[in-house]
Chains A and B, each alone.
Chain A
Amino acid sequence: MSFLNNVITGISLGSIYAIIALGYTMVYGIAKMLNFAHGDVIMVGAYVCFFATGSFGLHPVVGVLLAMVVCTVLGVVIEGLAYKPLRQAPSLAVLITAIGISWFLQNSAQILWGAAPKVFTPVVSGGLSLFGGQLNISYVTILTVVSCLVIMAVLSAFIGKGKMGKAMRACSEDKGAAQLMGINVNSTISMTFAIGSALAAIAGVLMCSAYPTLMPTTGSLPGIKAFTAAVFGGIGSVPGAFVGGLLLGIIEIFAKAYISTDLSDAIVFLALIVVLLVKPSGLLGKYVPEKV
């Protein structure tokens, strides 16, 4: 039963990584930049939900929705103020700016809310106990996995069939040609940041519900791991983020359970290196040759 428990914990953690990885991969796909501040948006979302439900006594659903609204606005503002002016700049300048924004968010959180960890109250409590108590699944786990599946399904349908979703794919391939079609590239990029940041808020709440320590640096390591998941699955690919996130979560939990807790992160990154050596574009990364 402990094996099954580990699988479930791994899928749950992997679902959180997958939701975060979607933000990285969509932004990379369309703006060709690595938004290293994405992890810190998760942290902001968790704080918003924490204060909304804890200090103001709002219903958790309202808390999550509020976190999504705040993060969406935050994501769009960050893009407009920090990244948009650098659209023509070398990618290194954009990368450094993203790291700067990440630090700015962490330090602002520290000033506003203090460095001391807060204990996050899970948005749902309790769980299922199966096989006479041998297999325990918390409702947070169920909610996390279900949320991830719903998000993936909705997002895939939107990108696959929706008019704006197709416009996003067009922009991700060729911004100049997209403009010639009449697509507003700037607002499409803004929309991508909005979606990614709203998902970050959900991920923040789910993550802090499962691992309830909340502090200004809470988002940074999961952010980096989710970025790894995005690369693992093939950066720019939405199904890749899903597969990469789930695999990363399972590998991490298995490494912790059967090899070594201390080495688990090293093992996760080793798996990434092996995948990239064998398939440099990631598991589901695409390479389409141009024909003449």
Chain B
Amino acid sequence: MALLQVNDIHVYYGSIHAVKGVSFEVNQGEVVTLIGANGAGKSTVLNTVSGLLHPRMGSVEFEGHDLKGVAPHKVVSHGLAQVPEGRRIFLQMSVEENLEMGAFTQDRSTIAPGIADVYERFPRLKERRRQIAGTLSGGEQQMLAMGRALMSKPKLLMLDEPSMGLAPILVEQIFDIIKELHAAGTTILLVEQNAQAALAVADRAYVMETGTITLSGTGAELMASDQVQKAYLGG
């Protein structure tokens, strides 16, 4: 059984049909990526899985449970955490407070060890623990957003465009972190426009175009595919 199973979901914004029958699955321990151009519907899919949007048709199942009707603030207690597009950390709160918010649904006793784990993975955050998050650099903010999501001890970590707006060296750093998390056994669903980097870390990948999945395969297969080369990799 797949950890996350998305079955033929259709999502609308008012009358706009943004996601037109998307199905995919993420298995335990995998890194799966959804790549595609801006506006293809990738973030819409993630927000539907997170419960912020509701599919008009189709279903989202996590560990075999249908998430239909689960309030968005309850989804995280099921073990799904999302690092949203644009990071959306709490800019006026301190680094440590942001991490505490990530553990909002967790038992109080697990917060301190959780924060220690995050600091071990992201030593930069420890140096800046008392600083207001708005004063961090873009790369540090992305690390904070990832650390914050890890605080909920997710079974599935969803990353929406983690490399967006970052300098190339930081993009490399972020993908190194994704590799490390993967190696540590974290299951990851990664949405990216940076197809090259995403395919390099992914076990499997899906290509989205205007609301549908047009291609799927292993990361290596898609990297070699003519269609992907032409459309996304400048080949």
Contact = CB atoms under 8 A, between A and B. Distances in A.
A binds B: yes
Interface of A: 163, 166-167, 169-170, 173-174, 176-185, 286, 288-292
B105 A174 contact: no
Contacts of A181: 73, 76, 101-102, 104-105, 148, 152
Contacts of A182: 73-77, 104-105, 152
Q: Which of A163, A182, A292 has the most CB of B within 10 A?
A: A182
Given A176-B84, A182-B77, 6 more contacts: A174-B90, A177-B88, A179-B73, A182-B74, A288-B132, A291-B134
Interface string B128-161: 0000101011100100000011001000000000
Given A180-B76, A183-B73, A291-B137, A169 B90 contact: yes
B150 to A, nearest CB: 12
A180 B134 contact: no
28 contacts: A163-B104, A166-B93, A166-B101, A167-B101, A167-B104, A169-B97, A170-B101, A173-B91, A176-B88, A177-B84, A179-B52, A179-B73, A180-B72, A180-B149, A181-B102, A181-B148, A182-B73, A182-B76, A182-B105, A182-B152, A183-B104, A288-B91, A288-B134, A290-B91, A290-B134, A291-B136, A291-B138, A292-B138
Interface residues of B, number: 34
A178 B84 CA distance: 11
B92 interface: yes
B50 interface: yes
Please give me the 9 A-B residue pairs with the lowest Cβ-Cβ distance, nearest first: A182-B105, A182-B76, A177-B88, A288-B134, A179-B72, A184-B73, A292-B165, A182-B104, A181-B104
Nearest to B148: A181
Interface of B: 50, 52, 71-77, 81-82, 84, 88-93, 97, 100-102, 104-105, 132, 134, 136-138, 141, 148-149, 152, 165
A180 B71 contact: no
Contacts of B137: 291
Nearest to A290: B91
B82 A169 contact: no
A289 B134 CA distance: 7
A173 B148 CA distance: 16
A185 B73 contact: yes
A180 B90 contact: no
A169 B100 CA distance: 12
A166 B136 contact: no
Nearest to A166: B97
Nearest to B50: A180
Given A181-B101, A291-B134, A292-B165, A169 B76 contact: no
Nearest to B74: A182
A278 B52 CA distance: 40
Contact of B101 (A183, A184, A286, A292): A183
Given A180-B81, A291-B136, A292-B165, A170 B90 contact: yes
Q: Which of B101, B149, B152, B165 has the most CB of A within 10 A?
A: B101
Nearest to B47: A176
Nearest to A185: B73
A184 B52 CA distance: 12
A183 B71 CA distance: 10
Contacts of A176: 52, 84, 88
Contacts of A184: 71, 73
A156 to B, nearest CB: 15
A184 B149 CA distance: 17
Q: Which of A167, A180, A291 has the most CB of B within 10 A?
A: A180
B91 to A, nearest CB: 5
Nearest to B76: A182
Nearest to B111: A163
